[in-house]
Amino acid sequence: MRHYLGVTLAFAVARTIALPYPQIGDYGENDGPVGGVKPPTPTVTASSGSLRGDSSLLGGNAPLPDPDKSDSALVPDPEFVNGQGADAKLGLYLDFNSANPPQPIRGENGATDPGPRTFDYEKLNPDLFAPPGTDAGDMPNLMWPMGLSHNRAGTGKNSGWARQQNTAVLPAAKDMAGVDMRLAPNAYRELHWHTANEWALMLKGCVRVALVDDEGRSFVDDICAGDVWFFPAGIPHSIQAFEQGAEFLLVFDQGDFTEDGTFLVSELFLRNPIEVLSKDLRAGVDAFKDIPKDQLYIFNGTPAPKNISEQNITSSAGSIQGNGSFTYHWSQQKPFEVPGGSVKILDPATFPVAKMFSAALVVVQPGALREIHWHTTSDEWNFFLQGSGRITVYGAPAASRTFDFTAGGVGYVPAAAGHYIENTGTEDLIFLEVLQAPKFSDISVAQWLALTPKQVVKDHLHLPDSVIDALPKEKPIILTGNKNLTALAGGGSAF
């Protein structure tokens, strides 16, 4: 098959149109005539013409165009990828990376696209561009790549940054919001508090966290990649990176939470009369001459002492320990392993302070599937840590939509909506599921049907006896699959 660019250039040369300059960054090959404009437009030294057409173009006065001689919307020699010709209802995962450009066609669904587009988005989102034939109806958008979030830089030199997902960018995510935050070596997230509860997973590096609760009990701990903290609403806390820096993921139980809307120690001092500060902290006015002139947000700090005891300050109320701990060293928990991957659960059974945060860290191997399931009462907030995968969300009564994810992406699944997560890449897919629930739980479709009277299942779904008899009475959680996701197109099998 001929390359699209080659085709375009051949046409361009034939029409003796000057060759276009490549787009900066090569965002694709949208370089033909489009919308009646034939780039490149001529370079002129003075303005001429008029901004509006004259009366000869009014209504039916304009000469009829000749469709045979006008710009063509045909796409010569479109390129197709493996599985693209298969029945659209098979919904095979289409890897568009080798197609230049990909075409929104699946089996008999769709047609070529001659118009303007951003090929990279289409390659990243094949299930939106050429949806499985089973997708139907209207589902809200349920994905947000952090790569599309505005990234707010810290104050001071290269101290860090934070980017977030909330209802401003993903309106359907009503109950949870997320922040991806970076702290440079020894940098702080300024002492602060907020109206939402905060659950966090360390992604890279280590930090020291500290807080003081309403009873005057203090808490300090050091946590590293894979560990978790929980800071309840209104409880002031500090976070400082160690010498290797840190990156962590924050999950809030308010969909419209914004990291830019927190209460800050610097602003608390700036927004109170100095007379009152002086009285409150028993200090002369001079003591306040060097307080920050603006919020600190994320900023560089002096290294924390390695010896945590030096930073363990307690009142008569003592320190918070045991069941009350605001951290959980989740990295030290061994995963539950099943064919196809592994899973670790953290919920109030072992981390009681986070009363309504239930999470699973899931690894799905290439070709494998996190089974079709739903969560009874809670929405699910996902974050993809590594690899690529796809989720189809089924919404009542008759809608579904399939979304593709890569590392750094946020997914959101409304409560009770059926969904699966399939690894669509060649590496392990690692992702986090977070629920607002006192227990991590789900309904497994396979187990539900296995434990439903056989005659009932058969009368509903007309599945062969052999399939019904083999349904698993225990939740599989993850299922192995063929690493070749288009094997069905050649008569192979999915698992």
Ligand X SMILES: *[C@@H]1O[C@H](CO)[C@@H](O)[C@H](O)[C@H]1NC(C)=O
Binding site as annotated, residues for Mn(2+): 192, 194, 198, 237, 373, 375, 380, 419
Q: How many CB atoms are located within 10 Å of the residue 182 CB? A: 23
Closer residue to ligand X in complex, CB, 61/309 = 309
Site for ligand X in 219-278 (CB under 6 A): 220-221
Residue 126: CB partners within 8 Å, gap ≥ 6?
Answer: 93, 94, 95, 96, 102, 404
| CA neighbours closer than 13 Å in the CB half-sphere of residue 136 | 10
Q: Which of 267, 337, 433, 474 is catalytic?
A: 433
**Cβ–Cβ < 8 Å for 467, 461:** no
Rounded to the nearest 5 percent, the helix, strand and coil shares of the chain are 20, 30, 50
Shortest approach of ligand X to residue 41 CB, angstroms? 45
Closest distance to ligand X from the beta carbon of 113 (Å): 24
Minimum Å distance from CB 312 to ligand X? 4
CA 405 – CA 385 distance, rounded (Å): 10
* Min separation Cβ 314 and ligand X, Å: 4
Candidates 116-124, 138-146, 357-365, 483-491; binding stretch for ligand X (CB under 6 A):
483-491
Q: Which is nearer to ligand X, 115 or 305 (CB)?
A: 305
Tokens of residue 1, six digits: 């098959």
267: annotated active-site residue: no
171 binds ligand X (CB under 6 A): no
492 binding ligand X? (CB under 6 A)? yes
Distance CA 178, CA 133 (A): 32
Site string for ligand X, 295-334 (x = CB under 6 A): ------------xxxx-x-x---xx-xxx-----------
By beta carbon distance, the residue nearest ligand X is 490
Q: Shortest approach of ligand X to residue 207 CB, angstroms?
A: 14
- Report in angstroms the alpha-carbon separations of 444 from 286, 430, 449: 65, 20, 9
Q: 41 or 321, CB closer to ligand X?
A: 321
**123/94 Cα distance (integer angstroms):** 9
Query: Is the Cα torsion angle 27, 32, 36, 37 positive or negative in sign?
Result: positive
Identify the burial level of 359 via C-beta atoms within 10 angstroms of its C-beta, where 0-12 means exposed, 13-18 middle and 19 or more buried: buried
Virtual torsion, Cα 58, 63, 65, 69, nearest 10 deg: -140
Q: Which stretch binds ligand X (CB under 6 A): 183-191, 383-391, 450-458, 487-495?
A: 487-495
d(CA 384, CA 422): 12
> Beta-strand (E) ranges in 57-140?
105-106, 109-110
Q: Which is nearer to ligand X, 43 or 309 (CB)?
A: 309
Between residues 50 and 309, which has the closer beta carbon with respect to ligand X?
309
Q: Which of 474, 467, 429 is nearest to 451 (CA)?
A: 474
For residue 288, the tally of other CB atoms under 10 A from its CB is 15
For ligand X, give the closer residue by CB, 249 or 485: 485
Task: Please choose, out of 46-54, 226-234, 363-371, 479-487, the segment that lies near ligand X by the rule CB under 6 A.
Answer: 479-487
The answer to whether residue 493 forms part of the interface with ligand X (CB under 6 A) is no
Is residue 486 close enough to count as binding ligand X by CB under 6 A? yes
**Which of 30, 82, 109, 386: binder of ligand X (CB under 6 A)?**
82
For residue 326, the minimal CB distance to ligand X (Å) is 11
List, in sequence order, every beta strand (DSSP E) within 21-112: 105-106, 109-110
**In the block, residue with structure tokens 């988005």:** 121
| Shortest distance in whole angstroms from residue 157 CB to ligand X | 31
Interaction of residue 201 with ligand X, rule CB under 6 A: no
Pick the closer one to ligand X by CB: 279 or 483. Answer: 483
Please give the size of the binding site for ligand X, defined by CB under 6 A.
Answer: 20
Residues forming the annotated binding site?
192, 194, 198, 237, 373, 375, 380, 419
Diameter of the chain by CA atoms?
Answer: 91
Residue 230's contacts (CB-CB under 8 Å, 6 or more residues apart) are 197, 198, 199, 200, 326, 327, 328, 351, 353, 354, 357
Residues lying near ligand X in the complex (CB under 6 A): 82, 220-221, 307-310, 312, 314, 318-319, 321-323, 484, 486-487, 489-490, 492
Catalytic residue positions, numbered:
433
